[in-house]
Amino acid sequence: MGKSLFWKGVIYGALAGGALSLLDKNTRQSVMKSCKKTTSEISFYVKHPDEVVSHVKEVTNKIKTTVEQVSADVSFITGKVGELRDGASQVAEFVEDTKHTFLQEDQNEADSEKNKS
């Protein structure tokens, strides 16, 4: 029951606010201009439904093209990330091999110094 009263109050408040705002001449003129424009557009589309269909098809094709482009871009980026990941693992292997080589050379030098003594 409380919800019913709440929504009724919201609706009545909106209607009262709208009616009060129409007391201003500029607001009335703006509302009239918007209503005439909307009525004109609706009338045009009622008389020319093929325009609506054409516009909807055009927008649909644009959205489809955009989705395909974004999908291609995501695939490209995913591939590049995979290449970078592979490259990073190769660099890590190279660094590890280099470290191992230097450690082995240091050990050989230490053994060589030990044998000289």
The answer to whether residues 66 and 88 belong to one domain is yes
The answer to whether residues 85 and 115 belong to one domain is yes
Contact yes or no for 18/28 (Cβ under 8 A)? no
Provide the number of structural domains found in the chain: 2
The answer to whether residues 71 and 35 belong to one domain is no
The answer to whether residues 31 and 79 belong to one domain is no
Alpha carbons 97 and 81: distance in angstroms, whole number? 24
pLDDT tens string 34-56: 999 999 999 988 899 998 899 99
The answer to whether residues 72 and 113 belong to one domain is yes
The answer to whether residues 53 and 110 belong to one domain is yes
Alpha carbons 88 and 86: distance in angstroms, whole number? 5
Average pLDDT rounded to a whole number, residues 63-89: 89
Element (H, E) at 114: helix 49-116
Question: Any idea what DSSP says for residue 117?
Answer: -
> What percent of the chain has pLDDT above 90?
44
Domain span holding position 33: 1-47
Confidence grade of residue 117 (pLDDT, cut at 50, 70, 90):
low
